[in-house]
């Protein structure tokens, strides 16, 4: 793979579902009711849909990167900032763009946004490039 500066990463569209939040809450030992109970979300004035866990939102970006790279082991660093909540029923799009390239790595901006324009996650990823050897060298 030889990306170019300005190249857009193939996006990944997902719809947030409430069902995976319960096992994720158990795995993360995260008993926060905003992931399980719409009434708890409403009580906080945040609407009436449960809120997705941050690690699930990060996983959408990770999945997008893995599909683009063909091997998620090429990710050297992934630095994410959670900017907004994602709610059950939200349609999200994980995307990115190649910002810079050096001899061995490429740095990309990545983001997860909702259909209504909300930024959910923003960040930077550094990937290791696999250069093809030049014939005869």
User: The domain that contains 13 carries what CATH number?
Assistant: 3.10.129.10
Domain interval for residue 84 = 8-17+52-128
Q: Which stretches of the chain score pLDDT less than 70?
A: 131-137
Question: In this structure, is residue 114 part of a structural domain?
Answer: yes
Q: Is 80 helix (H, G, I), strand (E, B) or coil?
A: strand
Give residue 32's pLDDT.
93
- Distance separating alpha carbons of residues 22 and 33, to the nearest angstrom: 10
Give residue 136's pLDDT.
55
Question: In this structure, is residue 44 part of a structural domain?
Answer: no
Question: In this structure, is residue 79 part of a structural domain?
Answer: yes
- Name the strand (E) or helix (H) holding 111: strand 105-114
Contacts of residue 80, Cβ cutoff 8 Å, sequence gap at least 6: 58, 61, 110, 121, 122, 123
Give residue 96's pLDDT.
98
Give residue 70's pLDDT.
93
Considering its fold, how many domains does the chain have in total? 1
Question: In this structure, is residue 32 part of a structural domain?
Answer: no
- Distance separating alpha carbons of residues 19 and 101, to the nearest angstrom: 39
Question: In this structure, is residue 136 part of a structural domain?
Answer: no
Question: In this structure, is residue 56 part of a structural domain?
Answer: yes
Give residue 2's pLDDT.
84
């Amino acid at each position: 793979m030889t990306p170019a500066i300005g190249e857009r990463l193939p996006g990944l569209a997902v719809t947030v579902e409430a069902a995976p939040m319960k096992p994720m809450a158990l795995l993360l030992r995260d008993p926060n009711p905003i992931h399980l109970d719409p009434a708890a979300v409403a009580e906080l004035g945040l609407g009436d849909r449960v809120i997705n866990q941050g690690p699930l939102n990060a996983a959408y970006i990770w999945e997008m990167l893995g599909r683009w790279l063909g091997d998620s082991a090429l990710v050297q660093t992934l630095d994410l900032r959670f900017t907004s909540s994602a709610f059950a029923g939200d349609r999200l799009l994980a995307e990115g763009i190649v910002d810079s390239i050096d001899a061995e790595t490429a740095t990309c901006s990545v983001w997860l946004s909702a259909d209504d324009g909300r930024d959910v996650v923003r960040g930077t990823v550094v990937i290791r490039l696999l250069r093809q050897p030049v014939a005869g060298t």
